Amino acid sequence: MQPIYSLLLSLLWPIWVGVLARKAWVQPDYRAGWWERVWVSAGLGRGWSGPTLWVHAVSVGETRAAAPIVRAWLAAQPQADAARIFLTQTTPTGRATAQTLFEDLIREDRLRMAYLPIDHPWLMRRLIRSIRADLLLLMETEIWPGLLSQARALRLPVALANGRLSEKSLRGYAWLGGLARDAFASLGLVMAQTEGDAQRLDAAGVRGRVVVTGSVKFDHEPSAEQIAMGRRWRRDLAVPRVWCFASSREGEEALVLRAWVSHRPPNTLLLLVPRHPNRAAEVAELVRSMGLRLERRSQWVPAGGPSGEPAAGPAPDVWLGDSLGEMTAYLSAADLVLVGGSLLPHGGQSPIEAAALGKPLAFGPHMQNFRAIASALLEAHAAAEQPDAEAFLRWADQAQSAQGELDAAAEAQGARAAEFVLAHRGATQRCLRALREWRQPASVEAWPRSGR
């Protein structure tokens, strides 16, 4: 099926260029790096002589998951000062997250970035030769047939870290037949989050070694700077209760806002943080259409601002988190958290960061992408599952008094959530151990470089 796949992508390439051009016209954040999405420059790894790890992390979640592995891998190299990371991504939000997480590595030229272009085998071959890495590490579920076929042809070892595969995704890959099986068979090592993920990945066609390492997302250390920023926001917002709807997805904001208008929780601010900040204008218009007072993070001046004068006018009903890379600060400013992507069948978003901060948290019934973690949190009485937005508001109202005091049950739940995260750390070291046991990274001389 690979020749058919290549032919199809060749035919679609002009359409892909047009789609990206339109996106760049509509969304300014797609303009930066536009050329990288449709072409591959030569010599992306030029000037690097030490061991190089190529990490592909599609967006924000995968980039954050990669962070502890990136830093641990660099520190573990015999030539630590010469070791390098090349990071490829798909979304502007992922790149912005990386620029924040790896600011020091970028400044020291120990980490470079590029967008992954369309998965045409010819472009993937050019990309592999341009980066000249020792090892390719894919994050979570980044299975690209063109990339993997060329990695196999050029003898570039490939591993999958923090691997997860739902039953729905497994059925989807089955429709691709031999194309998907060949892609999975190209993985030399799979480090799965759970035993269930390992079994499904094995069923998908993995022939390499499969080990269960847990989720590296537990190993991500919340930024102390952002925690302090969130606490300052909390103080300056000057409202007894702040409830955060974190990483909300399409259609969910309307559900929560309608419930909010119906319940009108007293002395409470809704901190609404869309999963994709480029939807902020759309969400802001939705808030205003419901007659709610809105403040946007990007336009906010704290009470008492630069002049020290009190803020004029009534306090907002909704504070819209429309910035990139500040989720830790938003969560730190909140008293209670509802995890987005879970009220409608979007698969859910990760509850780990809110849990790590010791926040009483809830999620809806649609946590398929994080079912193992969600189930474990519920079993540990470290989270609550609510069927809809109305139930979340009732739960939150019972958990916190109108004056802002959390009840004993909510306090205990938050403490258990933080303990849960601490108990599940260690996946990063298990991944590094699995990589060492699998094989030493192959020499870059073992496969063709650019120009050969």
pLDDT in 10s for each residue of the chain, 452 residues: 778 888 888 888 788 778 878 877 777 777 788 888 888 999 999 999 889 999 999 988 899 999 999 999 999 998 888 999 999 999 988 998 999 899 999 999 999 999 999 899 999 999 999 999 999 999 998 889 999 999 999 999 999 999 999 888 899 888 888 899 999 999 999 999 999 999 999 999 999 999 999 999 999 889 999 999 999 999 998 899 999 999 999 999 999 999 999 999 999 999 999 998 889 999 999 999 999 999 999 988 765 444 344 445 578 999 999 998 899 999 999 999 999 999 999 999 999 999 999 999 999 999 998 998 999 999 999 999 999 999 999 999 999 999 999 999 999 999 999 999 999 999 999 999 999 999 754 433 333 333 32
Q: For residue 439, which amino acid is it?
A: R
Q: For residue 70, which amino acid is it?
A: V
Residue 81: the pLDDT is 86
Residue 257 token pair: 């806002």
Let me know: does 239 contact 269? Beta carbons within 8 Å. Answer: yes
How many angstroms separate the Cα of 397 from the Cα of each of 197, 239, 351, 416? 37, 15, 20, 20
Write down all domains in the chain, each with its CATH number in brackets: 2-214+426-446 (3.40.50.11720), 224-300+314-423 (3.40.50.2000)
Beta-strand pair 52-56/84-89? parallel
Sign of the CA dihedral with 239 first, then 245, 246, and 249 last: negative
How far, in whole angstroms, is CA 390 from its chain's centroid? 27
Q: Please report, to the nearest 10 degrees, the dihedral formed by the alpha carbons of residues 234, 236, 239, 244 taken in order.
A: -40
pTM of the predicted protein model = 0.86
DSSP code of 442?
Answer: P
**Among candidate residues 13, 16, 15, 32, the one with its CA nearest the CA of residue 24:** 32
Residue for token digits 């039953």?
167
Residue 89 token pair: 């991504």
Residue 285: the pLDDT is 97
Residue 448: the pLDDT is 38
Residue 389 token pair: 């937005």
Number of helical H runs and strand E runs in the chain: 18, 14
CA angle 358–68–140, rounded 5-degree value: 95
Catalytic hit among 62, 140, 253, 353 = 62
Range list of β-strands (E), 332-444:
336-339, 361-363, 384-385
Residue 440: the pLDDT is 56
Query: Is 253 considered catalytic here?
Result: no
**Among candidate residues 127, 125, 105, 123, the one with its CA nearest the CA of residue 114:** 127
DSSP code of 407?
Answer: P
Residue 182: the pLDDT is 93
